Amino acid sequence: MTASDFTPWPDELVKSYREQGWWQNQTLGALLRESAQRYGERIALVCGTRRWSYRELDERADQLATGFAQLGLRTGERLVVQLPNIAEFFAVCFGCYRLGLIPVLALPGHRRAEIAAFCQLAEAAAYVIPDRHDGYDYRLLARETRALAPCLRHVIVVGAAEEFVPLQSLYAKPLALPDQDPAAVALLQLSGGSTGTPKLIPRTHDDYLYSVRTSVNICGFDAATVYLAALPVAHNFPLSSPGTLGTLYSGGRIVLLTRPEPDAAFMLIAAEAVSHLALVPSLLLAWLERATSLRPPLGSLRLVQVGGASLAAEVAARIGPVFGCALQQVFGMAEGLVTYTRLDDDPDAVLETQGRPMSPGDEIRIVDDEDRVLADGETGHLLTRGPYTIRGYWRADEHNRKAFTVDGFYRTGDLVRRRADGSLQVMGRTKDQINRAGEKIAAAEVEQHLLSHPRVRNAALVAIPDERLGERSCAFVELAEPDSDEAPARIALGLKLHLRDHCGLAAHKIPDRIEFIDRLPLTAPGKIAKPQLRALALNLTRTPT
Ligand code: OOB
């Protein structure tokens, strides 16, 4: 039996989501068409010196859909798209939606281990990359990936393609395109994950668009919105909460920031009169510090959204005075559920909570270890289901049995409590993950790669609190030959090179710190005692290295 690509919502719920007007039978491709008809010559996208109107973006999407079809790509096939914050990201994605190709939205930082895994899991027919970005040559990555993923028929390159297909050559004279099914999977998001292998998140046109439209209403996006995309555009937060899709739906303007450095960002905010932007707490902190000394003109800003990781109330309180605009806290996940503080919430709720679910259809259960529902104010596991939360990961039947309850609630792995006003507060998590500057690291994935090193007998990755990044990672490693007289610093460096160069992991997953330990502490059933290791790591950081 093959594992299922997509777990549908029960029929009666689908019916009710449609009856309530939540699912509107529209595709992402049709959303852009509608906006192009309404806003034609208005500027949709600003990318460096390039400015694309709604009409131009719409045309490019049709041209690429046709070019993809002429390349032999067929409706339902997957493409791994790994593009930075450039205009082509949108042309490629909408080209995919128009033809019914499913983009797998990889992040620019991913390397061979992750990209090969996405290609294999999605059985991707093509891989889309920039030629170079941030000093890295993605064509080298494509060559390595090809060897590991024979399913790839094409590598498509923005810029100098060398032996691959230049994206530029795929802008074909548009032919009639088949209508796409709004209930079908539109895109595959990546899960932060807690397992050894990455998981893909199938989002349908219906459910994704519902989350975008609802977010637009809550966040007050309209045709006057100028949205600065500072986070990687492939991520769910800047893509759909309400993000770039919300901006395109509203007739607003997307301004792309290629690298999230504060000075460049402040210049762009002033030059383009940016009104809205989304940040993770670590970036916010860096921008606040820089803005405090630089005092840039940020008068156009109306709303800064912050999410992806815990935001300290003291940091939250600095946004008003330093940026001169409102804050909105956002707690969300690529699997679905997003909660927002509302624009008219009390300051206390905005500073201290992560808001309320966006939809009346979002069901929230806060439970103890035995899945018994807890009273308001008590901290417990957050379970959720609703009209835009997935019912299962892509081709992961076994994992799905653990990640979802029998009645379809997603086990988020987050610990939350609910205040009397209905606002949620994120108190921690139970999933074995490190949240480093909003980037999620599944401990098991890094541990598995560490274990592939011949000198490593056992390994465990844990989080250490960090003022700037929120958390950073510390690997505890048991060596196979502990009595070797090689300097520990040298072995640690060797392990980092192994992970980066041999295993090919993204830089943010390389442990910030490696500690050698004779024996990893175990719990009674013989599992690694991570709480003990976390305490140990915390102690170590208090003593100089
Ligand atoms: C967003 O999505 P993901 O998939 O990268 O990560 C989801 C996880 C959550 O389960 C939670 O553990 C953590 O990130 N998280 C937060 C948070 N927002 C997300 N933890 C504490 N406070 C917050 N405000 O990160 C994401 C997706 C859509 C919108 C916003 C964030």
Positions of the chain with pLDDT under 70: 1-2, 482-483, 543-545
Q: How far is the CA of 309 from the centre of ligand 1 (A)?
A: 6
47 C-beta neighbours (distance < 10 Å), count: 19
For residue 190, give the ligand 1 atom closest to its CA.
Answer: 4
| pLDDT value, residue 193 | 85
| Dihedral pair phi/psi, residue 285, rounded to 5° | -60, -45
| Residue 147 three-state SS | helix
Kindly state if the Cβ of 412 falls inside 6 Å of ligand 1: yes
Cβ–ligand 1 contact at 195 (below 6 Å): no
- pLDDT at res. 274: 98
> Does ligand 1 lie within 6 Å of residue 333's CB atom?
yes
* Alpha helical stretches, state H, 7-81: 11-19, 28-39, 54-70
- 325: phi then psi, degrees, rounded to nearest 5: -145, 180
Sign of the dihedral defined by the CA atoms of residues 14, 358, 27, 220, in that order: positive
- Ligand 1 and 339: CB distance under 6 A: no
Among the atoms of ligand 1, which is closest to the Cα of residue 330?
Answer: 24
Q: How many CB atoms lie within 10 A of CB 178?
A: 11
Is there a contact between 277 and 307 (Cβ–Cβ < 8 Å)? no
> Across the beta sheet with 410-418, what order do the strands follow?
363-367, 380-385, 410-418, 424-429
Phi, psi of 303 (to 5 degrees): -145, 130
Tell me, using a 6 A CB cutoff, whether residue 393 lines ligand 1.
no
Residues in contact with 363: Cβ distance below 8 Å, sequence separation at least 6, in sequence order: 384, 385, 386, 409
Asked whether 429 lines ligand 1 (CB < 6 A), one says yes
N-term to C-term CA, the chain: 52
The pLDDT of residue 1 is 43
C-alpha 333 to ligand 1 mean position (Å): 5
| Distance (Å, whole) CA 360 – CA 410 | 17
* Pairwise CA distance, residues 298 & 295, whole Å: 8
* ipTM attached to this prediction: 1.00
Closest-lying ligand 1 atom to the alpha carbon of residue 189: 4
Rounded to 10 degrees, the C-alpha dihedral 383/386/388/389 comes to 30
Give the tens place of pLDDT for each residue, 454-488.
999 999 999 999 999 999 999 999 999 866 788 98
**Atom 3 in ligand 1: residue holding the nearest Cα:** 333
CB 76 within 8 A of CB 100: yes
Residue 2's pLDDT is what? Answer: 62
pTM above 0.90, yes or no: yes
How distant is the alpha carbon of residue 8 from its chain centre? 22
For 278, the token pair is 């989304």
The answer to whether the CB of 182 falls within 8 A of the CB of 27 is: yes
Q: What share of the chain is helix, strand, coil (3-state, %, to 5)?
A: 35, 25, 40
**Residues 115, 141 contacting (CB under 8 angstroms):** yes
User: Is the Cβ–Cβ distance between 278 and 307 less than 8 Å?
Assistant: yes
